[in-house]
Amino acid sequence: MLASLDYATARDFGTALLLGALLGIERERRNAREGGGIAGLRSFVMLAQLGAVGGYLSHTLNLPWVLAAVVLATSALVIAGYMTAARSKPGDLGLTTELAALVACLLGALTTLGHRELAIGLGVTSAALLAYKEPLHAMVGKLHGDDVFAGMRLLLATFIVLPLLPDHAVDPWGAINPYKLWLLVLLISSLSLVGYAATRWLGPGHGTALTAASGGLVSSTAVTLTFVEQSRARPAEAIQLAAGILLAWGVMFARVVVAVGIVYAPLVQSMLVPFVAMALAAVGMAVLGFRRGRVAAPTDPGSVPLKTPFSLLAAGKFALLFGGVQLLLKLAQTWFPGRGAYVIAAIAGLTDVDAITLSMAEVAKADAAQSQVAVVAIVIATASNTLVKAGMVLAMGHRGMRGTVLTGTLVILGAGVVGLLV
């Protein structure tokens, strides 16, 4: 027997109708611009409703073959439409509209089979993929072979290497868990990959601010060194380049908070005050620098020469560094409880912030009582790293950028201290 129509059923059918309309509107607009197309708005709405009816009847009558018949009939219609279009326009073949039609039918079925939220998510994602055809093609066109191989290596490290690692401590002190260690390596690599993709998306020659912001997601140190070198070649733009360095540092502070939030979200609340203070200080000083630098010719630094952010060798090196930091922290907790972690954080921060950041997040996750120690240690590590980068500017940068960076460094460190004391 068919169930009586209620609000939930009407909502599901309405959702299917709207999803079909969403996909259909995009295809209708595309057909109007490019001509042709086997289906438009009305066809997509009907296909989605057909799938919804098939799913509803299959679920209510407990007859799975009904939905299977609907999908087969839809497939036959799509194939017939494709063959007709292929004969009329043999040089303009494509499967996007045909596949979208099948997706519309299946999404309609999902709404009445109890997976309405999943259908909505997939429908919106599918519509976005259809609408952003040109930007996606442009993005793919900017990929190099090394970028593709880097993505494949990241997938290999995630789905092949990670499951093979033991999920327990392998040292006498219980500090090094290979599975968790490699998982954190993948986290940092993924965050760096996002920044690298943003930099490649923007392309070269997009201005100091965008270069600094996107490059800071990958490596604020790389941005610092690049802008330091450019300041010597273009001294008239030194102030703007200094402002770009400060902006990259501000992005780095935000990146640290995001990484900690993924590992141990409760620690973020304790980190917000000092890190928001440091990030705002960095961005504020960067804005002042950009305003001062407007009197010079507009700068166009090009893209920061960033390497592809993932390789198995680099991941292995970071895993060793991260494992060493974790072991030192464990020994410091045993022999020098409390302040021993601060010394290690200051030393580790001289070369890398990520390892000590994730290590302290793991410490706080294992023992919530260590949360404040973890926050202070992370602040110390970022402060140590900031001082090293400021030293690079003072030692190698043009004198026109030294004052801006030095002032910004002092303001950032002061904001961090105040944030810890609040």
* Percent of residues, the chain, with pLDDT higher than 90: 25
Most confident of 168-177, 219-228, 331-340: 219-228
- Residue 3 pLDDT: 52
pLDDT digits 0-9 by tens, 23-45: 888 878 776 666 656 667 888 88
The pLDDT of residue 304 is 55
Helices (H) and strands (E) counted in the chain, each on its own, are 18, 0
DSSP 234-258: -GGGHHHHHHHHHHHHHHHHHHHHH
Split at pLDDT 50, 70, 90, the class of 381 is very high
Residue 321: count other Cβ atoms within 10 Å of its Cβ. 18
pLDDT recorded at residue 241: 87
CB 214 within 8 A of CB 195: yes
- Assess contact for 274 and 379: CB atoms under 8 A: yes
Q: What is the mean pLDDT of residues 76-104?
A: 74
Q: What is the mean pLDDT of the chain?
A: 81
Range scoring the smallest mean pLDDT among 122-136, 194-208, 222-236, 251-265 = 194-208
Residues 262-277 have pLDDT tens digits of 889 999 999 999 999 9
Asked if the model's pLDDT at residue 198 lies above 70, the reply is no
- Other beta carbons within 10 Å of 148: 12
Which of 6-20, 171-185, 206-220, 325-339 tops mean pLDDT?
A: 6-20
Average pLDDT over residues 85-112: 78
3-state helix, strand, coil in the chain (%, to 5): 80, 0, 20
CB 60 within 8 A of CB 2: yes
| Position 12, amino acid | D
The CA distance from 363 to 378, in Å, is 12
Contact at 8 Å (CB) between 349 and 360? no
Percent of the chain topping pLDDT 70: 79
What is the pLDDT averaged over residues 41-54?
88
pLDDT at 378 over 90: yes
Q: Is the pLDDT of residue 110 over 80?
A: yes
Nearest to residue 34, comparing CAs of 79, 127, 96? 96
User: How high is the pLDDT of residue 299?
Assistant: 46
Is there a contact between 326 and 176 (Cβ–Cβ < 8 Å)? yes
**Alpha-carbon distances of 53 from 22, 49, 58, 61, 110, rounded to whole Å:** 18, 6, 8, 12, 10
- Contact yes or no for 285/159 (Cβ under 8 A): no
- Compute the Cα dihedral for 219, 223, 228, 233 and give only its sign: positive
CA distance 90 to 18: 33
Most confident of 39-48, 140-149, 410-419: 410-419
Do 143 and 200 contact (CB within 8 A), yes or no? yes
User: Does the pLDDT at position 303 exceed 60?
Assistant: no
Report how far residue 1's alpha carbon sits from residue 4's, in angstroms, rounded to the nearest whole number: 9
Inter-residue contact 23 to 130 (CB < 8 Å)? yes
Check pLDDT > 90 for residue 281. Answer: yes
User: Helix or strand or coil: residue 63?
Assistant: coil
Question: Rounded to an integer, what distance in angstroms lies between the CA atom of residue 152 and that of residue 161?
Answer: 13
Assigned token pair, 360: 């302290």
DSSP secondary structure, 167-205, as one string: SS--STTS---HHHHHHHHHHHHHHHHHHHHHHHHH-SS
Decide if pLDDT at 205 tops 50: no
Looking at per-residue pLDDT, the higher value among 222 and 378 belongs to 378
Minimum mean pLDDT range among 159-173, 204-218, 275-289, 385-399? 204-218
Q: Could you tell me which residues come within 8 angstroms of residue 328 by beta carbon, excluding any fewer than 6 positions away?
A: 344
pLDDT band at 245 (very low <50, low <70, confident <90, very high): very high
CA–CA distances in Å: residue 155 to residues 159, 178, 306, 419: 6, 18, 21, 39
Domain residue ranges in the chain: 7-131, 145-421
pLDDT value at 116 more than 80: yes
Query: Which range, of 72-76, 89-93, 341-345, averages the lowest pLDDT?
Result: 89-93
State residue 39's pLDDT score.
67
Region label for 418, one of left (φ > 0), alpha (ψ between -120 and 50) or beta (otherwise): alpha
| Gap between the Cα atoms of 232 and 397, Å rounded | 7
Residue scoring higher pLDDT (39 or 292): 292
In single-letter form, the type of residue at position 162 comes to L
- pLDDT value at position 210? 76
Residue 60 has pLDDT above 70, yes or no: yes
Tokens of 325: 């930091």
Average pLDDT, stretch 265-291?
93
Q: Is the pLDDT of residue 204 over 60?
A: no
Give the model's pLDDT for residue 409: 95
| The pLDDT of residue 297 | 41
> For the stretch 158-177, what's the b/e string if a residue is b when 16 or more beta carbons lie within 10 angstroms of its beta carbon?
eeebbeeeeeeeeeeeebbb
Kindly list the distances between the CA atom of residue 200 and the CA atoms of 76, 100, 138, 157, in Å, as whole numbers in the listed order: 41, 29, 11, 23
